[in-house]
Amino acid sequence: MSFTRRGFMQSGAAAMAATALPKGKADACIFLWLGGGAAQIDTFDPKQRGDGKKKAGSYYDSIDTAIKGVKVAEHLSKTAPLLDRCVLMRSITHSIVSEHAAAANLVHTGRMPSGTLQYPSIGSVIAHQLGPKTDEVPSYVVMGYPNITRDPGFLGAKYGYVYLTQVDIGPNGLVRPPDVDAARQDRRETLLASMRDSHQRRNSADPVVQAQADVSRQAFRLAGPRFMNVFDLNRESSTLRQAYGSEFGQRCLLARRLVQSGVRFVEVSYNLNFLNGSGWDTHNEGQLKQHLLIQDLDQSFAALLQDLERNKMLDSTLIVIATEFGRPPEFDAGGGRGHQSEAFSMVLAGGGLKTGLAVGATDELSKKIVEKPVTVPDFHATIHCALGINPHKNLYAGDRPVPITDGGRPVLEIF
């Protein structure tokens, strides 16, 4: 092996950076995705009250929380007394203000798109770095429809996700049809294995074929009882299920069960049932019933915090509430809000972090950051450090080194 001076210096710098990094004790992440752009000024960063028309400001009154001097919107009443388990990140910032898809891709990958590489999502990076806890469950699960922003990119299919659109039966592709008994299934698997192994031998130099073969084998392992029994929410008490509440709440409960079974990263997407007609993208009349979304999030998130705590899993499970951007304090002609990416909020909870903090601050209308801007790469670096992953470590797209984050620096005060 040969070393160049440049390579030695780069390795040395990376090693020095790694020794200075905080290392959290979380070993799994539940990522609650509020697709559409949740309004920070109406949730976790309330300001003066507006009138829904000409006077800019929050749409709701604010209430005290378990963090002294920190308020949230009134519809977060169940979360407010539990906020000491959380870190409010009130100064997230990026530059994509118009395109939902581009902003969602940035928040999921931590990078702007490249013409030569498809970058992996944060879920795939965590699956790659931490690996499965057991072969009987996947490392990465998405509750929502397949989307390229969640993909493994250059890491390959092995680090992709299993996706769910229903919480009660599990992944459709892993459920055996009713007319296929165990003997017939065994014959099918034997035939498939023979064809797959033959194809793999003929293409032994093709990494894509090898990765697809690995995924195929894993799929049959996942169809076993350990993983599929996770989806039987009736194993939980009716009292707990009621505490979690709605469709979104039942997904949050399933996320706890998935993490408990050994899954490393679970994304719970809030985008299948828009209670207000528009979801978190509250242009025009979507604002009028936004409180239904916030109340739903409030109940589900509070139940998740308490449930993880009861099961002694909160310190080892990092919860993230994320969205692609926020909303401005001004109201549009229809009484809703446009997009704002210069200053918005996300939330971290549990994960062994130093919680009970609000990081960063915005001005009197939550329009501009006045204290400690946190970029999306910084946010990713913070998540990775909470999970014991070095955010500066190189991954490899072929021979090309790609750092896990795009120069992200973790928020040190929460460790």
Q: What is the pLDDT of residue 194?
A: 62
Alpha helix (H) ranges present in 54-137? Answer: 100-109, 122-130
Query: Which pLDDT band holds residue 220 (cuts at 50, 70, 90)?
Result: very low
Q: What is the pLDDT of residue 193?
A: 53
In the block, tokens 């290392």 appear at: 23
Q: What is the pLDDT of residue 189?
A: 56
Q: What is the pLDDT of residue 265?
A: 98
Closest CA to 147 of 101, 110, 107, 116: 101
111 backbone dihedrals φ, ψ, rounded to 5°: -145, 155
Q: What is the pLDDT of residue 276?
A: 80
Alpha helix (H) ranges present in 165-289? Answer: 182-202, 207-222, 225-228, 238-244, 247-261
> Half-sphere exposure (CA, 13 Å, Cβ side) for 358?
21
* Mean pLDDT on 180-198: 59
Q: What is the pLDDT of residue 16?
A: 44
CA torsion sign for 386, 261, 79, 324 is: positive
Query: Which pLDDT band holds residue 132 (cuts at 50, 70, 90)?
Result: confident
Residue 41 CB contacts under 8 Å (≥ 6 apart), including other chains: 47, 57, 58, 59, 326, 327, 328, 329, 365, 366
